[in-house]
Structures are given as C-alpha cells and as structure tokens.
C-alpha cells in the first residue's frame, strides 16, 4: 500500500506531458481498492480530536482520475445521451454484491464503496470516493457527495444531501457515523461530523457557519479553525430559530435559522426511528 501511495502522490505532484498506459494501470489498481473499501478518503482515528483522519493521498488519487480520463460517450442503449470521464463510469454490481438497487433512475459512480445490505431507493445518487457501510438505506432523491462517509445501519431520508468535497485535498468530508437517522430534506455540508446514533429532524441544515444550540447540556456547538462542526452521539437535532438581538434585525423582529438539540435519544425516540427490517 505504501508503494501505491508513493506512486499516486508522485504522479499527482508531477504532471506528465501525457498520461501513459502505465499511469492508467496505476489508477486502475487504485480504483479497485477504492471500490472494495480497502482504502478510504477518510477513516476513524481515535488519536484525532474529531475522531477522524483525512487520507489526503486517496483524495489525490481520485482527482488524478479526472486528469487521466477523457470525455467518452456513456449513453449505453438508452435514448438519453451521457458524456463523462472515461475513468468514472457507473459502478458495476451483481446480485452477489448484496446491494438492493430498486429500479427507477438511481446512479452510483465507480470509486465508491457500497456495503452489503445497502438499499438504494430511486432516484438517488452516490458520487465517487463515497463510503456507505452495511445495512444503510439511501432514500429517494438523496445525494451522497464525493468522499462522504456513511456508517452502518443509517437512514439517509428522501431529498437529503450529504455534501461532497474533493478540494482542498486536506479538507475533511462529511461524516455520518453508525446508526444515524438523517431526516427528509436535511443538508449536511462542509465536513460536518454527525456522531453515532444521532437523529436529524426533517429540514435540519448543518454547516461550518451555523452554531448548534444544545438545550439539554446548555452548550453551543460550533466549528473552529481546527475542527468541523460535530454533533454529539445520540443528539436529536431539529430546525429552530433565534432572535436577532441588536440593530435593524431586532427592530424588525427578525429571527435566524439555527439547529437545536432538543433531547438525546430515549425509548420514545427508538420507537419513532426504528428501521423496518421487512423493507430491507
């Protein structure tokens, strides 16, 4: 693996006049490991304050694929034309892959890892570099952006978006840990980390710029220069608002959107968010 990393980083930093067949084979080896989940753009790391580490060289390898590939016709047998980089066709599955892809217009790009028991409801999209662990459901109109990391047994509900990030290469992607429920029409962006068993109520938006008010513990969660926004384990977050306290905003009675932690998971929460195994 160290040899592959060195070759990827060298090719990324020293762009040749033209990419050779050897370069394409290097990328093919890299892509195979990415598809199998043996390498990831980010991975758990207890030594990091966030609990996660960015694998910069993997993101460089993904970007290399865009450099190496040329635009080709990917229309297939259908009536609609599609043209994209030759290095990033749709990901190939068989029945033995153990992934349920319901007919109806979903697309999963190669270079993403999709675990066994994942359910994909149409139409949804998973971009290259993403990692979706076993037993997770990606619901209709949901987006899993480039390099986003999604844990086991999560539910990414209809029309939710997990933002992607390839550049800058050192930036942490969106992280959704195990057993998280992301409600409908949610948006998680800019490297936000949602810790295990958290629940995001419908319409919740999380990013680096918006503080999260924890009504239970009496603290405000914010991103810092060194850390992204981190939602604690088992937090139940809903869309809320806070009044503007000065200037014209106060005079006009304006309120600003803010996410609010209203509780932490309890028996009542479990009953409401229990995923139905019969749907799997």
CA distance 176 to 186: 13
CATH number of the CATH domain containing 104:
2.160.10.10
> What is residue 19's predicted lDDT score, i.e. its pLDDT?
96
The total domain count for the chain is 2
Give the SS3 label for residue 247.
helix
- Provide the residue range defining the domain that includes 24: 2-71
Residues 97 and 79: beta-carbon distance below 8 Å: no
Shared domain check, 120 and 67 = no
**What pLDDT does 54 receive?**
96
| Residue 26 falls inside a structural domain | yes
Regarding beta strands 219-221 and 212-214, do their DSSP bridges make them parallel or antiparallel, or are they unpaired? antiparallel
Please choose, from the candidates 125, 127, 120, the residue with its C-alpha nearest in 3D space to the C-alpha of residue 155.
Answer: 120
pTM: 0.94
Q: Does one domain contain both 137 and 66?
A: no
- Specify whether 199 is located in the same domain as 110: yes
Same domain, 185 and 110: yes
pLDDT recorded at residue 275: 56
Query: Are residue 25 and residue 113 in the same domain, yes or no?
Result: no
Residues 104, 60, single domain; the answer is no
Residues 26, 6 contacting (CB under 8 angstroms)? no
- Mean pLDDT, contiguous 10-residue spans, the chain (280 residues): 93 96 97 97 96 97 96 80 92 95 94 98 97 98 98 98 91 96 97 97 96 98 96 98 92 95 84 60
């Amino acid at each position: 693996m160290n040899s592959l990393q060195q070759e990827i980083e060298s090719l990324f930093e020293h762009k040749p006049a033209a990419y050779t067949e050897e370069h394409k084979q290097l990328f093919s080896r890299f892509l195979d490991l990415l598809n199998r989940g043996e390498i990831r753009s980010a991975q758990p790391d207890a030594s990091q304050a966030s609990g996660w580490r960015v694998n910069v060289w993997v993101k460089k390898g993904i970007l290399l694929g865009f450099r190496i590939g040329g635009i080709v016709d990917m229309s297939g047998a259908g009536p609609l034309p599609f043209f994209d980089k030759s290095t990033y066709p749709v990901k190939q599955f068989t029945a033995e892959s153990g992934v349920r892809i319901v007919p109806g217009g979903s697309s999963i790009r190669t270079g993403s890892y999709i675990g066994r028991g994942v359910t994909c409801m149409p139409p949804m999209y998973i971009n290259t570099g993403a990692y979706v662990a076993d037993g997770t459901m990606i619901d209709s109109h949901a987006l899993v952006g480039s390099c986003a990391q999604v844990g086991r047994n999560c539910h990414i509900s209809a029309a939710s978006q997990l933002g992607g990030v390839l550049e800058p290469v050192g930036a942490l992607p969106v992280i959704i840990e195990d057993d998280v429920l992301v409600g409908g029409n949610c948006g998680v962006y800019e490297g936000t980390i949602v810790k295990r068993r958290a629940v995001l109520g419908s319409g919740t938006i999380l990013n680096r710029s918006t503080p999260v008010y924890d009504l239970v513990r009496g603290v405000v969660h914010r991103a810092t220069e060194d850390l992204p926004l981190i939602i604690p384990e088992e937090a139940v977050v809903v869309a809320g608002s806070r009044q503007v306290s000065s200037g014209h905003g106060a005079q006009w009675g304006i309120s600003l959107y803010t996410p609010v932690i209203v509780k932490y998971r309890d028996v009542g929460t479990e009953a409401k968010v229990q995923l139905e195994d019969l749907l799997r």
